[in-house]
Structure 1
Amino acid sequence: MVEDVKVLIVGAGAADLAAAAALEPSGVSCLVLEAQSRIGGRVHSVAYAGQVPFERGAQMINGDMTAVRELSAQEKLHVSPVSSTGCDLCCVGGDVLPRTDLVSAEDLENLINDAIRSWASPPEIVRSLGSLYRWWKSPREDVGELRRGLALAATRIKPPKDSLGAAIQRLLLCPEDEAIARTMLAEQYGADPDAMSTLAVKTGLAAYASERGDAEFQFPAGMSRIVEALASKLSCQPVLNMPVSRVSCAPEGLEIAAKGKTYHASQAIVAVPPTVARKIHIDVPDHAALDRLLSAFSAGDMIKTRLVYDRPFWRHKGYSGAITFASPAGLAVRDTSYDTGGNPQLTAFLGGPVARKRANLSKDHRQALLLGDIARVLGDPAGHPVDVDEAIWVDHPWSGGGYNAHVGHDQPPDTVPRLAQWQGFVQFAGAELDDIFAGYVEGAIRSGCRVAARIVRALKMQGEQYAIR
């Protein structure tokens, strides 16, 4: 069976649906094919009777993420602030400390930027050493810090040269700060910092277009309502359970194979994660270069667990519920209760190698380990939730992993912009490829809209007549 369409879109996540919603008003016929039995991709809200949905995937936004905020306003969704009252904690070497005692995310970003650019020229050496001096001096004001730092540099095992782990090591942080730095990055990227490209991460950090944190608000109705709002704008709804296996050039455009069907299109937008896109046989001009770009990405590993309690016992102790763990590396917890009522809840985010290891354990064993980790910090009540929900984003067949894919330390650091700017019969979109909010639902929507606008411009330049089918 052969079907014709102007633009075929592979996937039905936020980027794909945003692209389709942007194409239709310009009169471009499009069709969305989704491998799974649902839309949303890495956005997946699961509703339970009498409870707010469990966000298996993307959950939080900040006030500068305007595309998501506009859609939430259109849908009249209540926006709930993420709880932040009380003392944030960290657990390092068996000690529970106020989070402010150790390196913050903002400090880490600034220090990493200095470490990345250091040693390139004399002025940059001065800036980098000045940044390290300010950091060492501010918490301890001790000349011994310099001796300690130099000793660490001389004795530690060195990660791969161009890896994020190497950039962290060049900071000469004390062991406690380095452990917290590594765990923050493992959780954020779902990977060991030693495996990630320093320069690729730097590009993403530098492009983050907000002075605000990324977890200010959430939706009690579920983030899935955002992707549903995008889908509601389409005249032709996505075709589900339709995995694309091949995209190849044909005499007049493209031929796309999907589950026994063949589609003809002038253009295709592949907006599944890069680690999933590379499983599709894409035969287009310069396909070897494209294969290299897609192969540069590795999927993140993430386990997300919601723990529902009968009372917010952590607040009674003056704690916010936010915890950063040095061990297990990649574990972070925060209070994700809603202001609309319902049971209080904590959500644990475990990213990186430990997530991959625990994903292979039984569910009971995995949850027992997590409850033990949290109880070490918050006390015995933490080990007795009234309900537990879990989502494993490790080797996911259609999403790769969580939160996003990352560029390997031994891969070209400009991989992301090169894939985002790839032009021709097949173009690419996705959360990883945005130039401002990479890795977020906001970035996925922006990326999809940007590719759609590029296609519309190209079709108009060709003087084509097209109509919505």
Structure 2
Amino acid sequence: MSRNVEADVVVVGAGLSGMIAARALLAAGLTPLVLEADERVGGRILTEEVTAGVPVELGAQWIGDTHQRMFALAEELGVQTYRQYDDGETSYELVGSGVLREGEFHARFASELKELELVLRRLDVLAAEVPVEAPWSAPRAAEWDAVTAGAWYDAQGLSPVARTLLEICTVGILAVPTAEVSFLHLLFTIQTCGVTSELFAESEGGAQTTRFVGGTGEITKRLSALIAAHIVVEAPVQTIEHEVDSVTVYCRGGLVARARRVIVAISPTLAGRILYDPPLSGVRDQLTQRLPNGSAMKAFFVYDEPFWRADGFNGQLISDIGPARMSNDTCIPGDDHGVILMFLEGDEARTAGRLPEPERRAALTAELVRHYGPRAAKPEFYVDGEWSDRQWTRGCYNANHGPHVWTKYGAALSTPVGVIHWASTDTATYWSAYMEGAVDAGERAAREVVESLT
């Protein structure tokens, strides 16, 4: 049975961007209606509890020291934060070195790490030339957008250790191999986040320094409670009819929503699957065809205690053997369990994500045993999650621009099309691809709507 509802603004998607936009619209005196395709809110934020008191983050997990919007949001919502555990040594396993503790690795490969540092500083210098509001207008945009980040890395004459580390760190951010991303997009990503030290580091000043008590899901749960009367779940948007000053949004299941504006707050690739009447420009449609989401999986091992800490490890590993390329100690303060998170991103997520769960778990267990010894073979709990199989997400962490996308199509990414506005972290100009970027994008889209209606 069809249902007809009216609002000032329809928001497509109840992820962080969509809910932030809806709340801002309410504060401006407008009535939003948030339509979420999934049965839950949160989008790319997903917290699950594997056992009492141990929430694990299958989606977004950290904020960084410069993520002021997220710190302010957490304080407003009453969600406490705590620092990511970082005491001890990282374990390395690169280019045939065997498993090495951090001190030994740094001593053995000091010159290679110096090479890497010089390349990171050069990336900072080049990124400073990229305007985040219009990357295509950078003086060397055409040159940088014509090559992949991987090709640029290869041209730097790096040693195998430095090149491998650079690949692992970059894939850990973009969730795709560097051969699939334009060099201009890499520079844009660095510029939106400040400098490479803020983007790549996990210690002070980095992007992964702070977590939320109770899990990141506390943010979306409390935020959605503030606007609960304006959210409809299990309402996949199929068609958006738009006129000069109105929109009609049709959902699967019969719901029809009429409004004066619409904010599409989902990733560009999913936004491209909606039918628009009249059709959007070819440039906008071609853009969404060229912005695939990344491939990411997280796997959690829960032990009776964080035994690796007694051996002087911080729970972080970096490996080119895998199947995980990196890991983190993600123990919960006040709980005795030891929790290690293993990251599978890019090709590793694509490969391991298609394996039967027992086979994938066995391969990851073997990797942990190599780094932390036989106790790693006996977790109490195991849980993993891959994002490309999720119908209403189709990948994580973000959309990535391949060669020629920014310069040929990038101007259409966040530019409103009449009464249609665009949000999601993929459209942010500050910490794009992070929760901070999601808030930035939601606030920007809400401002555009308020200004257009007043």
Q: Which of the five TM-score ranges fits, normalised by the shorter chain?
A: 0.7 to 0.9
**1:452 is paired with a residue of what secondary structure?**
helix
**2:233 is paired with a residue of what secondary structure?**
coil
* CA-to-aligned-CA distance 1:57-80 (integer Å, 9 cap, x gap): 001112321222122223332312
Partner of 1:96: 99
After TM superposition, the score normalised by the length of structure 1 is 0.83
Q: Equivalents in 1 of 2:230, 2:54: separation in Å?
A: 27
What letter is aligned with 1:335?
D
Partner of 2:242: 249
Q: Determine if contact 2:425/2:438 at 8 Å carries over to the other structure.
A: yes
Partner of 2:184: 199
Task: Kindly indicate whether residue 357 of structure 2 is the aligned counterpart of residue 355 of structure 1.
Answer: no
Q: Equivalents in 1 of 2:435, 2:237: separation in Å?
A: 23
Partner of 2:217: 224
What letter is aligned with 1:5?
A
What letter is aligned with 1:239?
V
Q: Determine if contact 2:235/2:255 at 8 Å carries over to the other structure.
A: no
Q: Which moved more, 1:11-20 or 1:185-194?
A: 185-194
Partner of 2:442: 448
Partner of 1:464: none
* CA-to-aligned-CA distance 1:250-293 (integer Å, 9 cap, x gap): 47511211012222221111111112111111235752221022
Q: Determine if contact 1:296/1:412 at 8 Å carries over to the other structure.
A: no
Deviation for aligned residue 1:9: 0.5
Partner of 2:9: 7
Q: Equivalents in 1 of 2:287, 2:314: separation in Å?
A: 42
Deviation for aligned residue 1:359: 1.1
Matches within 5 A, 1:303-314: 303-314=297-308
Structure 1: state its 5+ residue gaps. 119-159, 461-469
Task: Kindly indicate whether residue 226 of structure 2 is the aligned counterpart of residue 215 of structure 1.
Answer: no
**1:93 is paired with a residue of what secondary structure?**
coil
Q: Equivalents in 1 of 2:411, 2:379: separation in Å?
A: 44
**2:400 is paired with a residue of what secondary structure?**
strand
**2:340 is paired with a residue of what secondary structure?**
strand
Partner of 1:109: 120
Q: Equivalents in 1 of 2:279, 2:374: separation in Å?
A: 61
Structure 2: state its 5+ residue gaps. 130-144, 199-204
Deviation for aligned residue 1:233: 2.5
Deviation for aligned residue 1:423: 4.4
CA 425–106 in structure 1, closer or farther in 2 if over 3 Å, else same? farther
Deviation for aligned residue 1:108: 4.9
Matches within 5 A, 1:376-391: 376-391=370-385
Equivalent of 2:22 in 20, 23, 30: 20
Deviation for aligned residue 1:392: 0.9
Q: Determine if contact 1:273/1:430 at 8 Å carries over to the other structure.
A: yes
Q: Determine if contact 2:309/2:315 at 8 Å carries over to the other structure.
A: yes
Q: Which moved more, 1:66-75 or 1:16-25?
A: 66-75
Q: Determine if contact 2:330/2:341 at 8 Å carries over to the other structure.
A: yes
Q: Determine if contact 2:127/2:190 at 8 Å carries over to the other structure.
A: no
Q: Equivalents in 1 of 2:345, 2:320: separation in Å?
A: 12
Partner of 1:240: 233
CA 116–266 in structure 1, closer or farther in 2 if over 3 Å, else same? closer
Q: Determine if contact 2:65/2:206 at 8 Å carries over to the other structure.
A: no
Equivalent of 2:165 in 142, 155, 180: 180
Deviation for aligned residue 1:193: 0.8
**2:227 is paired with a residue of what secondary structure?**
coil
Q: Equivalents in 1 of 2:91, 2:17: separation in Å?
A: 35
**2:433 is paired with a residue of what secondary structure?**
coil
Task: Kindly indicate whether residue 175 of structure 2 is the aligned counterpart of residue 164 of structure 1.
Answer: no
Q: Determine if contact 1:56/1:391 at 8 Å carries over to the other structure.
A: yes
Bigger Rg over Cα: 1
Q: Equivalents in 2 of 1:459, 1:252: separation in Å?
A: 9
Aligned-residue identity in percent: 25
Q: Determine if contact 1:115/1:171 at 8 Å carries over to the other structure.
A: no
**2:226 is paired with a residue of what secondary structure?**
coil
What letter is aligned with 2:158?
L
Deviation for aligned residue 1:416: 5.2
Q: Equivalents in 2 of 1:329, 1:179: separation in Å?
A: 15
Matches within 5 A, 1:428-447: 428-447=422-441
Q: Which moved more, 1:1-10 or 1:418-427?
A: 418-427
* CA-to-aligned-CA distance 1:348-375 (integer Å, 9 cap, x gap): 1110012111111100001111111222
Q: Equivalents in 2 of 1:313, 1:93: separation in Å?
A: 27
Q: Equivalents in 2 of 1:106, 1:234: separation in Å?
A: 46
Q: Which moved more, 1:263-272 or 1:252-261?
A: 252-261
CA 324–258 in structure 1, closer or farther in 2 if over 3 Å, else same? same
